[in-house]
Chains A and B, each alone.
Chain A
Amino acid sequence: MQNVISLKTICLLFFFVTAFSFAKEEGHHEEGKDLKTEIKEYIDHHLLDSHDFSLFSYTNDAGEHKYVGFPLPVILFDNGLKVFSSSKLHHGESVAEVGGEYYKLYHGKIYKTDAEGTISYDEHHHATNVKPLDFSITKNVFTVFLVGLLMFFVFGRMAKTYKNGQMTKGIGRFLEPIIIYVRDEIAIPNIGKKHYKRYMSYLLTIFFFIWIINLLGLTPLGVNVTNNIAVTFALALITYLITTFSGNKNYWKHIFWMPGVPVPMKIILAPIELLGTFIKPFSLLIRLYANITAGHIVLMSIIGLMFIFKNWVGSTLSFGLAFVLSLLELLVAALQAYIFTMLSALYFGSAVEEHHDH
Protein backbone atom coordinates (compact mmCIF):
# COMPACT_ATOMS: atom_id res chain seq x y z
CA MET A 1 0.00 0.00 0.00
CA GLN A 2 2.84 2.34 0.95
CA ASN A 3 4.53 1.65 -2.38
CA VAL A 4 1.44 2.42 -4.36
CA ILE A 5 1.00 5.73 -2.52
CA SER A 6 4.60 6.77 -2.97
CA LEU A 7 4.47 5.90 -6.66
CA LYS A 8 1.40 8.05 -7.06
CA THR A 9 3.10 10.85 -5.14
CA ILE A 10 6.13 10.65 -7.40
CA CYS A 11 4.01 10.77 -10.53
CA LEU A 12 2.12 13.74 -9.19
CA LEU A 13 5.39 15.39 -8.26
CA PHE A 14 6.68 15.11 -11.80
CA PHE A 15 3.52 16.53 -13.16
CA PHE A 16 4.12 19.53 -10.95
CA VAL A 17 7.81 19.75 -11.80
CA THR A 18 7.06 20.04 -15.48
CA ALA A 19 3.94 22.16 -15.02
CA PHE A 20 5.65 24.66 -12.75
CA SER A 21 8.65 24.81 -15.02
CA PHE A 22 6.35 26.04 -17.75
CA ALA A 23 5.05 28.75 -15.49
CA LYS A 24 8.53 29.80 -14.48
CA GLU A 25 9.87 30.13 -17.96
CA GLU A 26 6.89 32.01 -19.26
CA GLY A 27 6.83 34.42 -16.37
CA HIS A 28 10.43 35.38 -16.76
CA HIS A 29 10.28 36.57 -20.34
CA GLU A 30 11.85 39.99 -20.83
CA GLU A 31 11.83 42.32 -23.77
CA GLY A 32 15.00 43.00 -25.71
CA LYS A 33 16.77 39.83 -24.62
CA ASP A 34 17.55 36.82 -26.72
CA LEU A 35 15.52 33.80 -25.57
CA LYS A 36 18.58 31.55 -25.48
CA THR A 37 20.52 34.01 -23.34
CA GLU A 38 17.55 34.37 -21.09
CA ILE A 39 17.25 30.63 -20.59
CA LYS A 40 20.98 30.37 -19.92
CA GLU A 41 20.77 33.16 -17.36
CA TYR A 42 17.77 31.56 -15.78
CA ILE A 43 19.60 28.24 -15.42
CA ASP A 44 22.65 29.99 -13.98
CA HIS A 45 20.46 31.83 -11.57
CA HIS A 46 18.64 28.64 -10.62
CA LEU A 47 21.90 26.91 -9.75
CA LEU A 48 22.96 29.71 -7.42
CA ASP A 49 22.05 30.24 -3.83
CA SER A 50 19.88 33.25 -3.05
CA HIS A 51 19.13 35.51 -0.12
CA ASP A 52 15.38 35.10 -0.31
CA PHE A 53 13.08 32.18 -0.81
CA SER A 54 11.29 32.92 -4.06
CA LEU A 55 9.17 30.19 -5.56
CA PHE A 56 8.79 31.96 -8.92
CA SER A 57 8.74 35.43 -10.39
CA TYR A 58 6.83 37.11 -13.18
CA THR A 59 6.54 40.48 -14.88
CA ASN A 60 3.16 42.17 -14.52
CA ASP A 61 1.42 44.34 -17.07
CA ALA A 62 3.06 47.47 -15.72
CA GLY A 63 6.47 45.94 -16.50
CA GLU A 64 7.31 45.38 -12.85
CA HIS A 65 9.11 42.27 -11.64
CA LYS A 66 7.02 40.45 -9.10
CA TYR A 67 8.46 37.72 -6.89
CA VAL A 68 6.37 35.13 -5.11
CA GLY A 69 8.10 33.94 -1.96
CA PHE A 70 9.35 35.29 1.33
CA PRO A 71 12.49 37.13 2.48
CA LEU A 72 15.15 35.55 4.70
CA PRO A 73 17.43 37.14 7.30
CA VAL A 74 20.75 38.54 6.13
CA ILE A 75 23.62 38.27 8.61
CA LEU A 76 26.80 40.20 7.80
CA PHE A 77 30.06 40.65 9.69
CA ASP A 78 31.18 44.10 8.61
CA ASN A 79 32.33 46.39 11.42
CA GLY A 80 30.21 44.36 13.79
CA LEU A 81 27.24 42.12 13.33
CA LYS A 82 24.54 43.37 10.96
CA VAL A 83 21.24 41.57 10.71
CA PHE A 84 18.41 42.67 8.42
CA SER A 85 15.71 41.20 6.24
CA SER A 86 16.61 40.37 2.67
CA SER A 87 13.51 42.27 1.55
CA LYS A 88 15.66 45.40 1.97
CA LEU A 89 17.86 44.28 -0.90
CA HIS A 90 14.90 44.09 -3.31
CA HIS A 91 16.44 41.25 -5.35
CA GLY A 92 19.37 43.46 -6.28
CA GLU A 93 17.15 46.22 -7.64
CA SER A 94 17.97 48.72 -4.93
CA VAL A 95 20.58 49.51 -2.30
CA ALA A 96 20.05 48.56 1.31
CA GLU A 97 21.20 50.96 3.96
CA VAL A 98 22.04 49.37 7.28
CA GLY A 99 23.78 51.20 10.10
CA GLY A 100 25.39 53.73 7.80
CA GLU A 101 26.71 51.13 5.37
CA TYR A 102 25.32 50.40 1.91
CA TYR A 103 24.90 46.93 0.47
CA LYS A 104 23.81 45.77 -2.92
CA LEU A 105 22.97 42.31 -4.23
CA TYR A 106 24.72 41.44 -7.47
CA HIS A 107 24.57 37.95 -9.01
CA GLY A 108 23.55 36.39 -5.74
CA LYS A 109 26.34 37.99 -3.73
CA ILE A 110 26.20 40.95 -1.36
CA TYR A 111 28.69 43.75 -2.10
CA LYS A 112 29.50 46.85 -0.14
CA THR A 113 28.72 49.95 -2.16
CA ASP A 114 28.28 53.68 -1.83
CA ALA A 115 24.91 55.31 -1.38
CA GLU A 116 24.18 55.11 -5.12
CA GLY A 117 24.96 51.40 -5.31
CA THR A 118 27.81 51.71 -7.82
CA ILE A 119 29.52 48.47 -8.66
CA SER A 120 32.93 48.60 -10.34
CA TYR A 121 34.15 45.81 -12.58
CA ASP A 122 37.50 44.42 -13.66
CA GLU A 123 38.30 43.44 -17.25
CA HIS A 124 36.60 40.02 -16.87
CA HIS A 125 33.40 41.76 -15.80
CA HIS A 126 33.84 40.61 -12.21
CA ALA A 127 32.74 42.93 -9.46
CA THR A 128 35.66 44.41 -7.52
CA ASN A 129 33.65 45.82 -4.62
CA VAL A 130 34.38 44.62 -1.09
CA LYS A 131 32.41 41.52 -0.09
CA PRO A 132 31.48 41.56 3.60
CA LEU A 133 31.63 38.26 5.49
CA ASP A 134 28.23 36.80 4.72
CA PHE A 135 26.64 34.42 7.18
CA SER A 136 23.11 34.97 5.95
CA ILE A 137 20.38 32.44 6.30
CA THR A 138 20.15 31.92 2.57
CA LYS A 139 17.68 29.78 0.69
CA ASN A 140 20.04 26.80 0.94
CA VAL A 141 20.71 27.27 4.65
CA PHE A 142 16.98 27.54 5.17
CA THR A 143 16.41 24.35 3.18
CA VAL A 144 19.10 22.50 5.11
CA PHE A 145 17.47 23.60 8.32
CA LEU A 146 14.07 22.51 7.02
CA VAL A 147 15.38 19.11 5.97
CA GLY A 148 17.06 18.71 9.35
CA LEU A 149 13.78 19.53 11.04
CA LEU A 150 11.91 17.11 8.81
CA MET A 151 14.38 14.32 9.49
CA PHE A 152 14.32 14.99 13.20
CA PHE A 153 10.55 14.92 13.20
CA VAL A 154 10.18 11.82 11.03
CA PHE A 155 12.91 9.68 12.58
CA GLY A 156 12.24 10.91 16.09
CA ARG A 157 8.64 9.87 15.73
CA MET A 158 9.68 6.59 14.19
CA ALA A 159 11.95 5.89 17.15
CA LYS A 160 9.03 6.50 19.52
CA THR A 161 6.84 3.89 17.84
CA TYR A 162 9.33 1.20 18.88
CA LYS A 163 8.71 1.88 22.55
CA ASN A 164 5.18 0.49 22.36
CA GLY A 165 6.21 -2.78 20.84
CA GLN A 166 8.86 -4.50 18.85
CA MET A 167 7.57 -3.31 15.48
CA THR A 168 7.52 0.18 14.04
CA LYS A 169 4.44 1.79 12.57
CA GLY A 170 3.49 4.05 9.68
CA ILE A 171 6.35 5.55 7.71
CA GLY A 172 8.78 3.55 9.81
CA ARG A 173 7.67 0.45 7.92
CA PHE A 174 9.09 2.05 4.81
CA LEU A 175 12.18 3.57 6.43
CA GLU A 176 13.24 0.66 8.61
CA PRO A 177 14.32 -1.60 5.70
CA ILE A 178 16.41 1.30 4.36
CA ILE A 179 18.04 1.78 7.75
CA ILE A 180 18.73 -1.96 7.94
CA TYR A 181 20.05 -1.84 4.38
CA VAL A 182 22.50 0.93 5.32
CA ARG A 183 23.57 -1.11 8.30
CA ASP A 184 23.82 -4.55 6.66
CA GLU A 185 24.91 -3.65 3.13
CA ILE A 186 26.93 -0.47 3.61
CA ALA A 187 28.28 -0.26 7.15
CA ILE A 188 28.99 -3.86 8.17
CA PRO A 189 30.67 -5.10 4.95
CA ASN A 190 32.90 -2.03 4.69
CA ILE A 191 33.74 -1.28 8.30
CA GLY A 192 33.42 -4.68 9.89
CA LYS A 193 31.23 -6.01 12.69
CA LYS A 194 33.55 -4.80 15.40
CA HIS A 195 33.60 -1.07 14.69
CA TYR A 196 30.55 -0.26 12.56
CA LYS A 197 28.33 0.89 15.41
CA ARG A 198 30.36 4.05 16.04
CA TYR A 199 29.73 5.24 12.49
CA MET A 200 26.09 4.30 12.09
CA SER A 201 24.73 7.69 13.19
CA TYR A 202 26.85 9.57 10.70
CA LEU A 203 26.22 7.15 7.83
CA LEU A 204 22.46 7.09 8.35
CA THR A 205 22.24 10.85 8.71
CA ILE A 206 24.31 11.54 5.62
CA PHE A 207 22.45 8.96 3.56
CA PHE A 208 19.00 10.29 4.35
CA PHE A 209 20.15 13.92 4.30
CA ILE A 210 21.64 13.71 0.80
CA TRP A 211 18.77 11.65 -0.47
CA ILE A 212 16.03 13.92 0.84
CA ILE A 213 17.80 17.09 -0.19
CA ASN A 214 18.47 15.70 -3.67
CA LEU A 215 14.81 14.81 -4.01
CA LEU A 216 13.87 18.26 -2.80
CA GLY A 217 16.05 19.67 -5.59
CA LEU A 218 13.79 17.88 -8.07
CA THR A 219 10.63 19.48 -6.73
CA PRO A 220 9.26 22.73 -8.19
CA LEU A 221 10.37 24.56 -5.05
CA GLY A 222 13.57 25.21 -6.98
CA VAL A 223 15.94 24.52 -4.10
CA ASN A 224 19.31 23.09 -5.02
CA VAL A 225 21.50 22.43 -2.05
CA THR A 226 23.77 19.58 -3.10
CA ASN A 227 24.81 21.37 -6.29
CA ASN A 228 26.52 23.94 -4.12
CA ILE A 229 30.17 23.15 -3.56
CA ALA A 230 30.22 24.66 -0.07
CA VAL A 231 27.65 22.09 1.04
CA THR A 232 29.37 19.07 -0.47
CA PHE A 233 32.68 20.39 0.84
CA ALA A 234 31.28 20.54 4.36
CA LEU A 235 29.99 16.98 4.10
CA ALA A 236 33.23 15.63 2.66
CA LEU A 237 35.21 17.48 5.32
CA ILE A 238 33.28 15.67 8.04
CA THR A 239 34.03 12.34 6.35
CA TYR A 240 37.69 13.31 6.12
CA LEU A 241 37.87 14.36 9.78
CA ILE A 242 36.15 11.20 11.00
CA THR A 243 38.48 9.05 8.87
CA THR A 244 41.59 10.87 10.07
CA PHE A 245 40.66 10.84 13.73
CA SER A 246 39.62 7.21 13.78
CA GLY A 247 42.70 6.01 11.88
CA ASN A 248 44.56 3.38 13.88
CA LYS A 249 48.26 2.49 13.89
CA ASN A 250 47.79 0.12 10.97
CA TYR A 251 46.15 2.85 8.87
CA TRP A 252 48.95 5.36 9.40
CA LYS A 253 51.56 2.68 8.84
CA HIS A 254 50.05 1.96 5.44
CA ILE A 255 50.28 5.64 4.59
CA PHE A 256 53.77 6.55 5.80
CA TRP A 257 55.63 3.24 5.72
CA MET A 258 53.85 0.84 3.38
CA PRO A 259 54.64 -2.69 4.54
CA GLY A 260 55.71 -5.32 2.06
CA VAL A 261 57.48 -3.07 -0.46
CA PRO A 262 61.19 -2.18 -0.76
CA VAL A 263 62.48 0.88 1.13
CA PRO A 264 62.84 3.23 -1.89
CA MET A 265 59.24 2.42 -2.82
CA LYS A 266 58.13 3.17 0.74
CA ILE A 267 59.65 6.65 0.40
CA ILE A 268 57.95 7.23 -2.95
CA LEU A 269 54.61 5.87 -1.77
CA ALA A 270 54.39 7.92 1.44
CA PRO A 271 53.57 11.30 -0.20
CA ILE A 272 51.27 9.62 -2.71
CA GLU A 273 49.37 7.84 0.04
CA LEU A 274 49.22 11.02 2.11
CA LEU A 275 47.84 12.90 -0.86
CA GLY A 276 45.40 10.05 -1.36
CA THR A 277 43.82 10.70 2.04
CA PHE A 278 42.87 14.19 0.79
CA ILE A 279 41.91 13.10 -2.71
CA LYS A 280 39.47 10.47 -1.46
CA PRO A 281 37.10 12.88 0.33
CA PHE A 282 37.77 15.47 -2.39
CA SER A 283 36.44 13.02 -4.96
CA LEU A 284 33.36 12.68 -2.76
CA LEU A 285 32.61 16.38 -2.81
CA ILE A 286 33.27 16.76 -6.54
CA ARG A 287 31.22 13.70 -7.42
CA LEU A 288 28.13 14.79 -5.55
CA TYR A 289 28.43 18.40 -6.68
CA ALA A 290 29.08 17.54 -10.33
CA ASN A 291 26.36 14.91 -10.60
CA ILE A 292 23.63 17.06 -9.19
CA THR A 293 24.75 20.20 -11.04
CA ALA A 294 24.99 18.36 -14.34
CA GLY A 295 21.59 16.80 -13.78
CA HIS A 296 19.99 20.17 -13.12
CA ILE A 297 21.68 21.87 -16.07
CA VAL A 298 20.70 19.15 -18.52
CA LEU A 299 17.16 18.88 -17.20
CA MET A 300 16.59 22.62 -17.28
CA SER A 301 18.21 22.96 -20.71
CA ILE A 302 15.83 20.39 -22.12
CA ILE A 303 12.89 22.10 -20.48
CA GLY A 304 14.23 25.34 -22.01
CA LEU A 305 14.34 23.68 -25.42
CA MET A 306 10.54 23.48 -25.34
CA PHE A 307 10.40 27.27 -25.53
CA ILE A 308 13.05 27.48 -28.19
CA PHE A 309 11.35 24.96 -30.47
CA LYS A 310 7.89 26.46 -30.04
CA ASN A 311 6.31 23.79 -32.23
CA TRP A 312 4.34 20.67 -31.53
CA VAL A 313 6.96 18.11 -32.58
CA GLY A 314 10.06 19.63 -30.98
CA SER A 315 8.40 20.73 -27.79
CA THR A 316 6.64 17.42 -27.32
CA LEU A 317 9.91 15.59 -27.82
CA SER A 318 11.61 17.87 -25.33
CA PHE A 319 8.82 17.31 -22.87
CA GLY A 320 9.16 13.55 -23.20
CA LEU A 321 12.91 13.78 -22.84
CA ALA A 322 12.59 16.00 -19.79
CA PHE A 323 10.19 13.53 -18.25
CA VAL A 324 12.50 10.57 -18.83
CA LEU A 325 15.44 12.57 -17.55
CA SER A 326 13.50 13.51 -14.44
CA LEU A 327 13.02 9.81 -13.73
CA LEU A 328 16.74 9.31 -14.23
CA GLU A 329 17.47 12.19 -11.86
CA LEU A 330 15.26 10.51 -9.30
CA LEU A 331 17.54 7.50 -9.53
CA VAL A 332 20.63 9.70 -9.40
CA ALA A 333 19.33 11.37 -6.24
CA ALA A 334 19.27 8.03 -4.42
CA LEU A 335 22.39 6.74 -6.13
CA GLN A 336 24.53 9.71 -5.11
CA ALA A 337 23.34 9.39 -1.53
CA TYR A 338 24.24 5.70 -1.65
CA ILE A 339 27.67 6.34 -3.20
CA PHE A 340 28.55 9.07 -0.72
CA THR A 341 27.55 6.84 2.20
CA MET A 342 29.19 3.77 0.72
CA LEU A 343 32.52 5.48 0.09
CA SER A 344 32.49 7.18 3.49
CA ALA A 345 31.98 3.76 5.06
CA LEU A 346 34.80 2.39 2.91
CA TYR A 347 37.18 5.11 4.13
CA PHE A 348 36.15 4.54 7.76
CA GLY A 349 36.68 0.84 7.21
CA SER A 350 40.21 1.36 5.92
CA ALA A 351 40.93 3.62 8.90
CA VAL A 352 39.92 1.05 11.50
CA GLU A 353 41.07 -2.07 9.64
CA GLU A 354 42.97 -4.45 11.89
CA HIS A 355 46.41 -5.58 10.96
CA HIS A 356 46.55 -8.75 8.90
CA ASP A 357 49.46 -10.51 7.22
CA HIS A 358 49.88 -9.95 3.52
Chain B
Amino acid sequence: MEKLISEFSVGLFFWQLLLFVGLVFLLKKFAWKPILDAVEKRETGIKDALFAADNARKEMENLKADNERILNEARAEREAMLKDARDMKTKMINDAKDEAQAQATKIIEQAQAAIESEKKAAMEELKNQVAGLSIEIAEKVVRKELSSNDNQLQLVESMLGEATLN
Protein backbone atom coordinates (compact mmCIF):
# COMPACT_ATOMS: atom_id res chain seq x y z
CA MET B 1 0.00 0.00 0.00
CA GLU B 2 2.83 2.35 0.96
CA LYS B 3 4.53 1.44 -2.29
CA LEU B 4 1.35 2.18 -4.21
CA ILE B 5 1.02 5.61 -2.67
CA SER B 6 4.68 6.45 -3.17
CA GLU B 7 4.41 5.34 -6.79
CA PHE B 8 1.30 7.41 -7.36
CA SER B 9 2.18 9.92 -10.03
CA VAL B 10 0.26 13.18 -9.71
CA GLY B 11 1.36 14.22 -13.18
CA LEU B 12 0.04 11.08 -14.80
CA PHE B 13 -3.18 11.37 -12.82
CA PHE B 14 -3.62 14.95 -13.96
CA TRP B 15 -2.96 14.19 -17.62
CA GLN B 16 -5.13 11.09 -17.59
CA LEU B 17 -8.04 13.02 -16.09
CA LEU B 18 -7.63 15.92 -18.49
CA LEU B 19 -7.15 13.81 -21.59
CA PHE B 20 -9.92 11.40 -20.73
CA VAL B 21 -12.52 14.04 -19.91
CA GLY B 22 -11.52 15.86 -23.09
CA LEU B 23 -11.85 12.64 -25.03
CA VAL B 24 -15.31 11.97 -23.60
CA PHE B 25 -16.57 15.38 -24.68
CA LEU B 26 -14.91 15.30 -28.07
CA LEU B 27 -16.19 11.83 -28.84
CA LYS B 28 -19.62 12.76 -27.57
CA LYS B 29 -19.85 15.59 -30.06
CA PHE B 30 -18.14 14.00 -33.04
CA ALA B 31 -18.76 10.29 -32.63
CA TRP B 32 -21.19 8.94 -30.09
CA LYS B 33 -24.03 11.33 -30.68
CA PRO B 34 -24.11 10.98 -34.47
CA ILE B 35 -23.55 7.22 -34.27
CA LEU B 36 -26.21 6.59 -31.63
CA ASP B 37 -28.64 8.94 -33.36
CA ALA B 38 -28.12 7.21 -36.68
CA VAL B 39 -28.49 3.77 -35.10
CA GLU B 40 -31.61 4.85 -33.28
CA LYS B 41 -33.04 6.44 -36.41
CA ARG B 42 -32.43 3.25 -38.30
CA GLU B 43 -33.97 1.16 -35.56
CA THR B 44 -37.06 3.36 -35.40
CA GLY B 45 -37.30 3.22 -39.17
CA ILE B 46 -37.16 -0.56 -39.15
CA LYS B 47 -39.66 -0.74 -36.31
CA ASP B 48 -42.02 1.64 -38.10
CA ALA B 49 -41.73 -0.26 -41.35
CA LEU B 50 -42.43 -3.54 -39.60
CA PHE B 51 -45.35 -1.98 -37.80
CA ALA B 52 -46.76 -0.55 -41.01
CA ALA B 53 -46.38 -3.89 -42.77
CA ASP B 54 -48.12 -5.61 -39.90
CA ASN B 55 -50.92 -3.07 -40.04
CA ALA B 56 -51.31 -3.49 -43.77
CA ARG B 57 -51.46 -7.23 -43.33
CA LYS B 58 -54.09 -6.89 -40.63
CA GLU B 59 -56.09 -4.49 -42.78
CA MET B 60 -55.86 -6.91 -45.64
CA GLU B 61 -57.14 -9.67 -43.41
CA ASN B 62 -59.94 -7.46 -42.19
CA LEU B 63 -60.86 -6.60 -45.75
CA LYS B 64 -60.86 -10.24 -46.71
CA ALA B 65 -62.98 -11.13 -43.71
CA ASP B 66 -65.36 -8.30 -44.59
CA ASN B 67 -65.68 -9.53 -48.14
CA GLU B 68 -66.31 -13.02 -46.92
CA ARG B 69 -68.92 -11.78 -44.52
CA ILE B 70 -70.68 -9.68 -47.13
CA LEU B 71 -70.66 -12.58 -49.55
CA ASN B 72 -72.08 -14.87 -46.91
CA GLU B 73 -74.73 -12.35 -46.03
CA ALA B 74 -75.72 -11.94 -49.65
CA ARG B 75 -75.87 -15.67 -50.07
CA ALA B 76 -78.07 -16.00 -47.00
CA GLU B 77 -80.28 -13.20 -48.20
CA ARG B 78 -80.73 -14.79 -51.57
CA GLU B 79 -81.54 -18.05 -49.87
CA ALA B 80 -84.09 -16.36 -47.66
CA MET B 81 -85.64 -14.54 -50.58
CA LEU B 82 -85.94 -17.70 -52.57
CA LYS B 83 -87.49 -19.47 -49.62
CA ASP B 84 -89.94 -16.62 -49.12
CA ALA B 85 -90.93 -16.70 -52.75
CA ARG B 86 -91.39 -20.42 -52.65
CA ASP B 87 -93.46 -20.15 -49.51
CA MET B 88 -95.53 -17.39 -50.99
CA LYS B 89 -96.15 -19.40 -54.12
CA THR B 90 -97.30 -22.38 -52.16
CA LYS B 91 -99.44 -20.21 -49.98
CA MET B 92 -101.03 -18.42 -52.92
CA ILE B 93 -101.78 -21.67 -54.65
CA ASN B 94 -103.23 -23.09 -51.50
CA ASP B 95 -105.22 -19.96 -50.86
CA ALA B 96 -106.58 -19.96 -54.38
CA LYS B 97 -107.42 -23.60 -54.11
CA ASP B 98 -109.22 -23.03 -50.86
CA GLU B 99 -111.04 -20.05 -52.24
CA ALA B 100 -112.08 -21.93 -55.35
CA GLN B 101 -113.18 -24.85 -53.28
CA ALA B 102 -115.22 -22.60 -51.05
CA GLN B 103 -116.67 -20.79 -54.01
CA ALA B 104 -117.54 -24.02 -55.73
CA THR B 105 -119.14 -25.47 -52.65
CA LYS B 106 -121.15 -22.32 -52.23
CA ILE B 107 -122.28 -22.33 -55.85
CA ILE B 108 -123.19 -25.99 -55.66
CA GLU B 109 -125.12 -25.40 -52.49
CA GLN B 110 -126.93 -22.49 -54.05
CA ALA B 111 -127.66 -24.51 -57.12
CA GLN B 112 -128.92 -27.38 -55.05
CA ALA B 113 -131.09 -25.01 -53.03
CA ALA B 114 -132.42 -23.47 -56.23
CA ILE B 115 -133.04 -26.90 -57.75
CA GLU B 116 -134.77 -27.99 -54.59
CA SER B 117 -137.03 -24.97 -54.52
CA GLU B 118 -137.68 -25.25 -58.26
CA LYS B 119 -138.42 -28.88 -57.79
CA LYS B 120 -140.79 -28.06 -54.96
CA ALA B 121 -142.53 -25.39 -57.00
CA ALA B 122 -142.80 -27.74 -59.98
CA MET B 123 -144.15 -30.47 -57.77
CA GLU B 124 -146.63 -28.05 -56.31
CA GLU B 125 -147.79 -26.97 -59.73
CA LEU B 126 -147.87 -30.49 -60.94
CA LYS B 127 -149.92 -31.45 -57.94
CA ASN B 128 -152.25 -28.55 -58.54
CA GLN B 129 -152.66 -29.38 -62.19
CA VAL B 130 -153.04 -33.07 -61.43
CA ALA B 131 -155.65 -32.16 -58.83
CA GLY B 132 -157.45 -29.86 -61.28
CA LEU B 133 -157.30 -32.48 -64.02
CA SER B 134 -158.43 -35.11 -61.65
CA ILE B 135 -161.33 -33.01 -60.59
CA GLU B 136 -162.22 -32.31 -64.19
CA ILE B 137 -161.93 -35.90 -65.16
CA ALA B 138 -163.78 -36.89 -62.08
CA GLU B 139 -166.47 -34.37 -62.89
CA LYS B 140 -166.85 -35.69 -66.42
CA VAL B 141 -166.70 -39.27 -65.28
CA VAL B 142 -169.04 -38.57 -62.48
CA ARG B 143 -171.41 -36.80 -64.76
CA LYS B 144 -171.52 -39.70 -67.12
CA GLU B 145 -171.43 -42.38 -64.56
CA LEU B 146 -173.97 -40.77 -62.38
CA SER B 147 -176.57 -40.99 -64.99
CA SER B 148 -177.66 -44.21 -63.42
CA ASN B 149 -177.91 -45.34 -59.84
CA ASP B 150 -176.12 -48.52 -60.48
CA ASN B 151 -173.20 -46.84 -61.94
CA GLN B 152 -173.01 -44.52 -59.05
CA LEU B 153 -172.88 -47.30 -56.60
CA GLN B 154 -170.37 -49.20 -58.62
CA LEU B 155 -168.13 -46.20 -58.76
CA VAL B 156 -168.25 -45.55 -55.12
CA GLU B 157 -167.42 -49.16 -54.46
CA SER B 158 -164.47 -49.17 -56.82
CA MET B 159 -163.19 -45.98 -55.46
CA LEU B 160 -163.41 -47.22 -51.97
CA GLY B 161 -161.61 -50.30 -53.04
CA GLU B 162 -158.93 -48.26 -54.58
CA ALA B 163 -158.66 -46.03 -51.55
CA THR B 164 -158.01 -48.98 -49.30
CA LEU B 165 -155.44 -50.26 -51.70
CA ASN B 166 -153.74 -47.05 -51.58
Using a CB–CB distance below 8 Å, which chain A residues touch chain B?
48-49, 75, 126, 133-138, 140-141, 144-145, 148, 151-152, 155-156, 158-160, 162-163, 166-168, 176, 179-180, 183, 197, 200-202, 204-205, 209, 228-231, 233-235, 237-238
Contacts and interface: CB of A to CB of B under 8 A. Distances in A.
Closest CB pairs A-B (n = 3): A155-B31, A162-B38, A201-B28
B10 interface: yes
Contact of A202 (B13, B16, B24, B41): B24
Given A166-B38, A229-B8, A204 B27 contact: yes
Interface string B1-37: 0001011111111111101111111111011111110
Given A138-B11, A233-B8, A148 B19 contact: yes
B89 to A, nearest CB: 71
A176 B31 CA distance: 12
A141 B28 contact: no
A230 B23 contact: no
A152 B31 contact: yes
A200 B36 contact: yes
B24 A205 contact: yes
16 contacts: A134-B9, A140-B12, A144-B19, A148-B26, A151-B27, A152-B30, A160-B34, A168-B35, A201-B32, A209-B23, A230-B8, A230-B9, A234-B13, A234-B17, A235-B16, A235-B20
Given A156-B30, A158-B35, A238 B9 contact: no
B20 A162 contact: no
Taking chain B's interface residues, is the majority helix, strand, or loop, or is none over half, making it mixed?
helix
Contacts, number: 127
Given A148-B19, A176-B39, 16 more contacts: A133-B10, A133-B11, A135-B14, A135-B15, A145-B15, A151-B31, A155-B31, A158-B31, A158-B35, A166-B38, A168-B38, A197-B36, A200-B36, A201-B24, A201-B28, A233-B13
B45 to A, nearest CB: 7
B86 to A, nearest CB: 66
Interface centre among A135, A163, A201 (most CB of B within 10 A): A201
Given A162-B34, A183-B36, A234 B11 contact: no
Interface in B29-78: 30-36, 38-39, 41-42, 45
A145 B12 CA distance: 12
SS class, residues of chain A in contact with chain B: helix
Contact of B35 (A141, A162, A238): A162
A136 B36 CA distance: 36
A137 B16 CA distance: 11
Nearest to B30: A156
A135 B11 contact: yes
B22 to A, nearest CB: 7
A152 B35 CA distance: 13
Interface centre among B4, B11, B14, B23 (most CB of A within 10 A): B11
Interface of B: 4, 6-17, 19-28, 30-36, 38-39, 41-42, 45
B10 A230 contact: yes
Contacts of A140: 12, 16
Contacts of A126: 6
B13 to A, nearest CB: 4
A313 to B, nearest CB: 36
Contacts of A233: 8, 13
A234 B20 contact: yes
Contacts of B24: 201-202, 205
Contacts of A151: 23, 27, 31
A227 to B, nearest CB: 11
Contacts of B35: 155, 158-159, 162, 168, 176, 179
Nearest to A237: B17
Contacts of B19: 141, 144-145, 148
